[in-house]
Amino acid sequence: MRHSTTPLVTTIKERCRVCYTCVRECPAKAIRIATGQAEVIPERCIGCGNCVRVCSQHAKQVQSAAARVRELLAGGAPVAAMVAPSFPAEFTEWSDGQLVGMLRALGFKLVNEVAFGADLVAERYRRLLEETKGQRFIATTCPALIGYVEKYYPQLVGALAPIASPMVATARVLHRLHGGGLKTVFIGPCIAKKGEAASERIAGEVDAVLTFVELREMLRETGIGPASVEGSDFDPPRAMAGGLLPVARGLLQAAGVAEDLQAGQVVAAEGRENFVIALEEFETGDLDAKLLEVLCCKGCITGAGMSGHTAHFSRRSRVSQHVRRRALAVDRDRWRADMERFADLDLGRQFAANDQRIAIPVATQLADIMARMGKFTPEDELNCGACGYDTCRGHAVAIYKGFAESEMCLPHTIEQLKRAVRELAVSNEQLASAQEALMQSEKLASMGQLAAGIAHEVNNPLGVVLMYAHLLLDECDRKSQLYNDLQMIAEQSDRCKKIVSGLLHFARQNKVLLQPTDLADLVARSLKAVPAPEGVTVGVEIETGDPAAEVDRDQIIQVLTNLLSNAYAAMPHGGAVAIRICGDAERIRLVVADTGVGIPKENQAKIFEPFFTTKQIGMGTGLGLAVTYGIVKMHRGEIGVASNADPAAGPTGATFTVTLPRKGRQE
Ligand code: ADP
Walking along the chain (667 residues) 10 residues at a time, the average pLDDT comes out as 64 90 92 87 93 92 95 96 95 94 97 95 90 90 95 96 96 96 97 92 92 97 94 93 79 68 72 88 86 86 85 85 87 94 95 90 91 92 92 92 89 92 95 86 79 81 91 92 92 86 74 91 94 95 92 93 95 96 94 97 90 82 88 92 95 97 76
Contact 621, 647 (CB under 8 A): no
pLDDT, residue 176, reads 96
**What are the tens digits of pLDDT across the range 202-216?**
888 999 999 999 999
Contacts of 405 (CB under 8 A, 6+ apart): 33, 34, 399
Domains (range + CATH), the chain: 9-54 (3.30.70.20), 64-299+314-341 (no CATH), 363-408 (no CATH), 431-507 (1.10.287.130), 509-667 (3.30.565.10)
Start-to-end C-alpha separation, the chain: 83
pLDDT, residue 532, reads 94
Ligand 1 atom 17: residue of nearest CA: 607
pTM: 0.68
Among 564, 565, 568, 625, which residue has the most ligand 1 atoms within 8 Å of its CB, making it the best to mutate?
A: 625
* Ligand 1 atom having least distance to the Cα of 597: 25
- Return the closest-CA partner of residue 290 out of 425, 481, 135: 135
pLDDT, residue 264, reads 63
Pocket lining: 661 vs ligand 1, CB cutoff 6 Å: no
pLDDT, residue 461, reads 87
Pocket lining: 624 vs ligand 1, CB cutoff 6 Å: yes
pLDDT, residue 355, reads 94
Question: Given strand 79-83, what is the order of strands in its sheet?
Answer: 110-113, 79-83, 183-188, 208-211
pLDDT, residue 393, reads 92
Torsion sign over Cα 371, 377, 380, 385: positive
- Where does 343-480 have alpha helices with state H? 363-372, 392-400, 410-475
Pocket lining: 596 vs ligand 1, CB cutoff 6 Å: yes
* Ligand 1 atom having least distance to the Cα of 608: 6
* Ligand 1 atom having least distance to the Cα of 625: 6
pLDDT, residue 259, reads 53
